[in-house]
Amino acid sequence: MANKRVVVIGGGPAGHDAATSAARFGADVTLIERDIVGGAAHLRDCVPSKSMIATGAALSFARRIDGMGLANVETDVDAEHLRARIQGIEQRLEQSVTQLLTSQGVTIHRGTGRLLGPNEVCADTADGSIELTADAIVLATGSRPRIPEWASIDHERVLTTRDAYPPAELPEHLIVVGSGVTGVEFVHMFASLGSDVTLIVSRQQVLPQKDPEAAALLEQNFLDRGVQLFKGARATEILRNGATVTVHCSDGRTAEGTHAVLAIGSDPNSQELGLENTEVVVDESGYIEVDHNLRSSVPSIYAAGDLSGKLPLSSVAAMQGRKIAEHIMGLHEGREHRHLDYDKAASAIFTEPEIADVGLAEAEAFATGRKIRVTKVPFSSNAKALINNDPLGFVKIVSDPNTGHVLGGSIVGQHAAELISVVALAVSANLKVQDIHESLFVYPTLSEALSEAAE
């Protein structure tokens, strides 16, 4: 029997994981990417923002160094070096993803893909158009920063998130519009690097979807670093006059700075994909409607990653790509196949302190009336946190009071994004608090706080 032919449009985490997995399972795979193999949102947003945050963390560590028995350590941000570092990381990751794809036998076309029908795709490349037929097509074209009508982006001083790194120069005073995950990471990133920052917060709390205790610690950290918070203010207009940018808010206040960045979400890349040549259904926001196998209304066409309108995370996009490959190749009928459970996806906010969570949140249980047990341990009683001179934050574990099963958790503090993996594993493997508590962790480590919280 001839191999299955799979065409993937988009080479981000969703597309390249679908492509490499399908190729590994024996399909003939072609991937079409119009910009950067590895993913535009992944390599131009996620990775650079974390790289700049890492530089900020090094600076912040240097500032804490006084408390560690050292003094007069001098640090300065070298914007040119920072740019080169980010570009270097981007290039290395693009190379390694490309190598992985080609080593699995995936054919890569550099160009724009669009659907001609339920089993036909056209790749518009610099050398002309290539028509391909496929048994299955994976749409993984990602998303782009949302630009509202009231903002004229000039990509110089009025920016989308994607314009902000590598920065041509560090903004003297940055106004961040939007206080969700991306917004607060931008505040942290630029405040750490030395910019003055104003944050426009449309509600009364930053991170409205997150644990209020975690949000309160973050707000305090921002205030301690001199960040101005405009709470309950909705941006309605952004004007640039030379080197000055003014953000007008719905409550009459104005924020003035040298740059403004919009961090108010993203829109799916579903236009110009040729969807009109198929019966693929999109929702009112442009996301492709998919079932639990990520299959669209046309059986041969799947959608993954940000385009699927599920959880916009690189980790989720990659796992969706793998699940699609299993489904295309008929492996979902095996006993080992598990559907993706988005409620069990861990996520993190790379601020100072870091904030990470997974599974059932305390507030969510409270809202639904579900009985839970919550145990909380502060890092201030953890030896390693004190050794590190960074005792801020806590570990919280949510469990079932009757069975002891771990239902979720949140961690605030140094390395929270790493530590949450233990809770994520417990949640997805249906472990009990006793399993965490009786694991022999290394001493001294931050992980011990997990063991204590699981007592």
Ligand X SMILES: Cc1cc2nc3c(=O)[nH]c(=O)nc-3n(C[C@H](O)[C@H](O)[C@H](O)COP(=O)(O)OP(=O)(O)OC[C@H]3O[C@@H](n4cnc5c(N)ncnc54)[C@H](O)[C@@H]3O)c2cc1C
Q: Which residues bind ligand X (CB under 6 A)?
A: 9-15, 32-36, 39-42, 45-46, 49-50, 112-113, 140-142, 161, 182, 269, 273, 305-307, 312-315, 317
Rounded to the nearest whole angstrom, what is the least distance from the CB of residue 318 to ligand X in the complex?
A: 8
Give the nearer residue to ligand X in terms of CB position, either 124 or 435: 124
Strand-by-strand arrangement of the 373-378 sheet:
347-349, 355-359, 406-412, 394-399, 373-378
In the complex, the smallest distance separating the C-beta of residue 101 from ligand X, rounded to whole angstroms, is 13
**Nearer Cβ to ligand X (269/451):** 269
Cα distance between residue 300 and residue 121, in whole Å: 12
In this structure, are residues 166 and 156 in contact, taking their beta carbons and an 8 Å threshold?
no
Residue closest to 25 by CA, chosen among 330, 261, 352: 330
Find the shortest distance in angstroms from Cβ 183 to ligand X.
Answer: 9
Task: Walk across the sheet containing 158-160 and list its strands.
Answer: 158-160, 259-262, 173-177, 196-201, 228-231
Chain CA centroid to CA 68, Å: 33
Distance in Å, CB of 244 to ligand X, minimum: 25
Taking the least distance from each CB to ligand X, the nearer of 14 and 385 is: 14
Type of residue numbered 47? V
Residue 394 belongs to what H/E stretch?
Answer: strand 394-399
By beta-carbon proximity to ligand X, the closer residue of 141 and 414 is: 141
Min separation Cβ 313 and ligand X, Å: 4
Beta strand residue intervals within 140-234, DSSP E: 143-145, 158-160, 173-177, 196-201, 228-231
Between residues 98 and 112, which has the closer beta carbon with respect to ligand X? 112
- Rounded to a whole number of angstroms, the minimum distance from the CB of residue 420 to ligand X is 12
Neighbours of 3 (CB within 10 A): 14
Instruction: Copy the structure tokens of residue 97.
Output: 């993803």
Which residue, 141 or 451, is less far from ligand X as judged by CB? 141
CB of 330 to ligand X, least distance (A): 24
Give the closest residue to 306 by CA, choosing from 297, 298, 294, 293.
294
273/433 with CB nearer ligand X: 273
**Closer Cβ to ligand X, 273 or 329, answer by number:** 273
**Nearer to ligand X by C-beta: 39 or 171?**
39
DSSP single-letter state for residue 203 = S
Cβ 72 to ligand X shortest distance, Å: 34
Dihedral pair phi/psi, residue 55, rounded to 5°: -65, -45
C-alpha to C-alpha distance for 173 and 157, rounded to whole angstroms: 11
Min separation Cβ 49 and ligand X, Å: 5
DSSP string, 238-274: EEEETTEEEEEETTS-EEEESEEEE-S-EEE--TTS-
